[in-house]
């Protein structure tokens, strides 16, 4: 989710300031340097060094860093797509040229900062303020307050200490060392008062917010459930009422709905729709053929794994076998068994129907020889068909898995 500062940035500066949003382990502080580096396509180290150098030579680095951190907006790439508002920065042709350009910019800024910052605020103000700002950045950048991670804690505490040091230094340098303790005491007192007053309110607001969020999530879940049931179960129920006289249609509808609901409930193919697995593909295939030809297909799968092109070929052959069995065998049910083993992949399609003699199948019926046997041969596997008149039929598909 985007945080509020991002929204602010988008409103004022538009997409030109967008940089990639980085994961926590990619950032050192606010992730500004790393984000710029990623965006431009160079290593992060020189950018980081440039910020440090610019800071040490007059403080502009810190100002730049802080403003970049505040004004940058992030575009999310997590879902594999870049938001439409995002305009990528044109990149120089070769990495060497990019590096060169980068160093030139750094050098220019360096010179500029020496020039600019000899006037203006003096060291007595600049350094303590820089220190405090840096500490603040450090403390805030810990993001989610995850106190169990020692690194996060260290960062937050270190940041706060730096802020305190900055404040003390500011007072000591500008008003003399003698007033520093008193001033610090007053500041601390005022601050604690604010904390005492504000903290409970903040706490309540935060818990209210999370409670509301939880409620909304629940409501969303309910709505999704209702929508799903409406699209699937209720539709089917009304269809069944309309065709209650036709037993075949009713049974078919009920079975299809049962499969769908079960798939949804047990989540077998929910996440697997992008990259279908062997199991999900076989189950879908069974459901498809059952729906098309009105013959129940019992699918049993053992083991699972990703589908590659060869496995897909085997699936194509299995489909042909299923369709043959459903259309020609006259069996009340077709069994399909798939096994995804470590060395090979096997699919069996079996019916207890009327069976046939292979030599009696006419030449022009290409289903068996081309779609099943030929397809398996081309995929580097084999197919065998076992059938006799009156004895049903079983098509066995075997595909060795080539180990890379």
Partner 1 sequence: MKRRIVLVDDHELVRAGVRSALGERVEVVGEAGDVASAISVIEATRPEVVLLDVHLPGGNGPAVIRGLTDTPARFLALSVSDAALDVIEVIRAGARGYVTKAISAEELLDAIERVAAGDAVFSPRLAGFVLDAFAQQPVAAPDPELDELTLREQEVLRLLARGYAYKEIAHRLSISVKTVESHASAVLRKLQLSNRRELSRWAAERRLI
The Cβ of residue 78 has, within 10 Å, a number of other Cβ atoms equal to 7
Start-to-end Cα distance in the chain: 40
Beta strand pairing call for 382-387 and 393-400: antiparallel
Distance set, CA 105 to CA 54, 116, 195 (Å): 12, 16, 43
Nearer to partner 1, 120 or 270 (CB): 270
CA–CA separation, 200 and 289 (whole Å): 63
Compute the least distance from the CB of residue 291 to partner 1, in Å. 15
Q: Which residues contact 73 (CB under 8 A, 6 or more apart)?
A: 2, 6, 9, 10, 13, 15, 17, 18, 19
Compute the least distance from the CB of residue 296 to partner 1, in Å. 7
Compute the least distance from the CB of residue 263 to partner 1, in Å. 9
Q: Report residue 396: phi and psi, to 5°.
A: -110, 125
Compute the least distance from the CB of residue 349 to partner 1, in Å. 9
Q: Report residue 114: phi and psi, to 5°.
A: -60, -40
Nearer to partner 1, 70 or 271 (CB): 271
Nearer to partner 1, 122 or 303 (CB): 303
Compute the least distance from the CB of residue 260 to partner 1, in Å. 12
Compute the least distance from the CB of residue 234 to partner 1, in Å. 19
CA 164 to chain centroid = 40
Nearer to partner 1, 123 or 298 (CB): 298
Q: Which residues contact 87 (CB under 8 A, 6 or more apart)?
A: 15, 16, 18
Compute the least distance from the CB of residue 359 to partner 1, in Å. 22
For 167-228, strand residue ranges (E) read: none
Compute the least distance from the CB of residue 271 to partner 1, in Å. 10
Question: Which chain residues interact with partner 1 by CB under 8 A?
Answer: 255, 258, 262, 266-267, 296, 298, 300-303, 332-333, 335, 337, 339, 348, 350, 352, 394
Nearer to partner 1, 155 or 350 (CB): 350
Nearer to partner 1, 71 or 337 (CB): 337
Asked if 354 and 389 touch (Cβ cutoff 8 Å), the reply is: yes
CA–CA separation, 353 and 387 (whole Å): 10
Tokens of 34: 């790393």
């Amino acid at each position: 989710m985007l945080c509020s500062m991002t929204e602010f940035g988008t409103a004022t500066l538009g997409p030109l300031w967008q940089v990639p949003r980085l994961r926590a382990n990619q950032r050192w502080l606010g992730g500004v340097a790393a984000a710029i580096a990623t965006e431009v396509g160079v290593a992060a180290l020189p950018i980081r060094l440039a910020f440090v150098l610019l800071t040490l030579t007059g403080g502009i680095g810190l100002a730049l860093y802080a403003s970049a951190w505040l004004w940058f907006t992030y575009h999310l790439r997590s879902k594999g797509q870049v938001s439409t508002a995002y305009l990528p920065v044109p990149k120089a042709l070769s990495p060497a040229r990019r590096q060169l350009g980068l160093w030139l910019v750094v050098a220019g800024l360096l010179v500029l900062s020496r020039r600019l910052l000899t006037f203006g605020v003096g060291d007595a103000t600049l350094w303590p303020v820089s220190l405090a700002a840096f500490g603040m950045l450090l403390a805030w950048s810990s993001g989610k307050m995850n106190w169990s991670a020692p690194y996060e804690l260290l960062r937050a505490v270190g940041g706060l200490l730096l802020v305190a040091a900055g404040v003390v230094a500011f007072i000591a340098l500008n008003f003399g060392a003698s007033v520093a303790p008193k001033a610090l005491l007053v500041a601390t007192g005022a601050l604690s008062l604010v904390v005492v007053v504000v903290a409970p309110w903040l706490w309540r607001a935060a818990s209210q917010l999370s409670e509301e969020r939880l409620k909304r999530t629940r409501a969303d879940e309910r709505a999704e459930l209702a929508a799903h049931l409406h699209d699937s179960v209720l539709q089917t129920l009304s269809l069944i009422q309309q065709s209650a006289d036709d037993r075949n249609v009713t049974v078919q509808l009920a079975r299809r709905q049962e499969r769908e609901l079960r798939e949804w409930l047990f989540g077998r193919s929910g996440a697997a729709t992008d990259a279908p697995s062997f199991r999900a593909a076989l189950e879908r295939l069974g459901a498809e053929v059952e729906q098309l030809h009105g013959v129940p297909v019992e699918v049993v799968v053992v083991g699972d794994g990703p589908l590659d092109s060869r496995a897909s070929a085997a699936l194509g052959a299995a489909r042909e076998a299923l369709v043959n069995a459903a259309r020609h065998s006259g069996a009340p049910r077709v069994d399909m068994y798939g096994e995804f083993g470590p060395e090979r992949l096997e699919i069996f399609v079996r019916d207890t129907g009327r069976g046939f003699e292979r030599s009696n199948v006419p030449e022009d019926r290409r289903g068996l020889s081309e779609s099943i046997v030929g397809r398996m041969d081309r995929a580097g596997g084999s197919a065998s068909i076992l059938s006799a008149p009156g004895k049903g039929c079983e098509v066995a598909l075997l595909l060795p898995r080539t180990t890379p």
